Amino acid sequence: MDKYDAIFIGAGQAGPFLAARMAESGLNVALIERKFLGGTCVNAGCMPTKTLVASARAAHVARRAEDFGVKIGGRPTVDMSVVRNRASKVTMDARNGLGEWLGNLKGLAIIYGHARFTAADTVEVGDKTLTAPRIFVNVGARPVVPAFPGIGDVPYLTSTSILDVDFLPRHLAVIGGSYIGLEFAQMYRRFGSEVTIIERGPRLAPREDDDVSSAIRDILVGEGITIHLGATEIAFSGHKGNITVKADGMVHEVSHVLIATGRRPNTDDLGLEAAGVDVDERGYIRVNDRLETNVPGIWALGDCNGRGAFTHTSYNDFEIAAANLLDDEDRLVSSRVPAYALYIDPPLGRVGMTERDARAPGRNVLVSTRPMARVGRAKERDETLGFMKVVADADTKAILGATILGIEGDEAIHGFIDAMTAGTRFDELQWAVPVHPTVSELIPTLLRGLS
């Protein structure tokens, strides 16, 4: 039996950095990964998909060149093999860089294989048995494929397998109208595919307020994407290149199907029952505010704990665990301000509560909105779609949440993230003097609309 001070199962965006901190502090650490270093972000999430988004935007801007007085000569086309190879290179560079860094750390052993608990302090990997007083689970999540009628009889893509596509689908049906599905729908439309989104719910991006969901739909419809909402009965038939998707009596004849209906944690084959670790009904490992499981000496970090499904929340899990275990601090998951972005174009930046959530407990709420058409940067670039929205508590003047759906919204939202993290009241922030011409310069005007 190989003895370590700490064992990490999974090498996503939390485990490797905490493993490195521990190794650098003189501890003997094992990092176990069944497939690729870097987890979802590096290999099947942020890095490759946002590289594809960048290629799709380049195609979109090139097609609009004449609107800005730029003559290209002929309609731009997309070489999907180059697009795919570029995204693959970004992934490989990041993965290899991570491997080189971790591989050179004294006291850190990288072990490739499938780890399973055999006891609360012991795991097996192939023919190896490892034990440690501290074990950290950072195994991420994977796409979910519902048991739609006929789905097993047709070829389909997931958000992972579509990254290997080096051709242009004639007509792509995207099953699922949430964040992953919307990003792929727009990028493939911009690459040149006909695209249909089929969503079981009554609106796109269901976590958002109705006005945000409606604006997202308008953006995508404006680019020629067909949207079918409220599809309660979805079935498939056909074969490669000719697939029939039936939804509530409507028939969609497509060439390819992308299933983008959510993700599930990779916890079902870890032997968690042997360690006595509790999971919820969806398979997420239950943790407390310090990321500790119900079993002393076992922590769960990143997507598999259900406390955030983003790279930045996973990395913050590392920061919280490192601060508590190595820096004699007491940091809590509940202290972070929830924020995220949707990378359609224009992007959506979101922080805190939606208006719907803020009003739910009967709170005295103030709301202010402003169209992106009021933003000088947006007008100068002829990208005026979307709007800004802020929600605040009328009694305490606390900013409860904000939305920026529009050009550079994913960057401008950080003004609100920083203010909410610092506890700055909206009546204080509204007198900031932002730089002109920027997207953020409309924020004080937006806040003054709360008064």
Q: Looking at the structure, do residues 251 and 167 belong to the same domain, yes or no? A: yes
Q: Looking at the structure, do residues 7 and 106 belong to the same domain, yes or no? A: yes
Global pTM reads 0.96
pLDDT, one tens digit per residue, over 420-429 is 999 999 999 9
pLDDT confidence tier of residue 75, bands split at 50, 70 and 90: confident
Q: Looking at the structure, do residues 34 and 137 belong to the same domain, yes or no? A: yes
For the segment 13-37, the average pLDDT, to the nearest whole number, is: 97
Q: Looking at the structure, do residues 243 and 188 belong to the same domain, yes or no? A: yes
For the segment 352-356, the average pLDDT, to the nearest whole number, is: 98
Q: What is the pLDDT of residue 400?
A: 98
Q: What is the pLDDT of residue 207?
A: 96
Nearest to 432 by CA among 340, 100, 424: 424
Give how many domains the chain has, as a whole number.
3
Phi, psi at 252, each rounded to 5°: -115, 120
Vertex 192, ends 187 and 194: CA angle to 5°? 90
Of 202, 236, 261, which closes a domain?
261
Q: What is the pLDDT of residue 175?
A: 98
User: Is pLDDT of 196 > 80?
Assistant: yes
pLDDT, one tens digit per residue, over 88-120 is 999 999 999 999 999 999 999 999 999 999 999
pLDDT confidence tier of residue 126, bands split at 50, 70 and 90: very high
Q: Looking at the structure, do residues 110 and 34 belong to the same domain, yes or no? A: yes
Q: Looking at the structure, do residues 197 and 133 belong to the same domain, yes or no? A: no
Sheet hosting strand 6-9, strand order edge to edge: 108-112, 29-33, 6-9, 135-137, 298-300
User: Is pLDDT of 384 > 90?
Assistant: yes
Distance CA 445, CA 373 (A): 13
For the segment 190-202, the average pLDDT, to the nearest whole number, is: 97
pLDDT confidence tier of residue 193, bands split at 50, 70 and 90: very high
Q: Which domain holds residue 65?
A: 2-142+264-335
For the segment 5-21, the average pLDDT, to the nearest whole number, is: 97
Nearest to 348 by CA among 302, 378, 389: 389
Distance CA 211, CA 201 (A): 16
Task: Provide the annotated active-site residues.
Answer: 436
User: Is pLDDT of 232 > 90?
Assistant: no
User: Is pLDDT of 451 > 80?
Assistant: no
Of 205, 232, 261, which closes a domain?
261
Mean pLDDT score of the chain, rounded to an integer?
A: 97
For the segment 185-200, the average pLDDT, to the nearest whole number, is: 98
Q: Looking at the structure, do residues 234 and 372 belong to the same domain, yes or no? A: no
| Distance spanning both ends of the chain, measured CA to CA | 66
Q: Looking at the structure, do residues 373 and 256 belong to the same domain, yes or no? A: no
Q: Looking at the structure, do residues 268 and 134 belong to the same domain, yes or no? A: yes
In CATH, what number is assigned to the domain containing residue 276? 3.50.50.60
In whole angstroms, how far apart are CA 130 and each of 117, 120, 146, 179, 280? Answer: 10, 11, 36, 39, 27
Q: What is the pLDDT of residue 401?
A: 98
Q: Looking at the structure, do residues 349 and 437 belong to the same domain, yes or no? A: yes
- CB distance 373 to 426 below 8 Å: no
Distance CA 418, CA 100 (A): 34
Strands 298-300 and 135-137 come out as parallel
Of 239, 261, 283, which closes a domain?
261
- 133-137, 342-346, 389-393, 430-434, range with the lowest pLDDT: 430-434
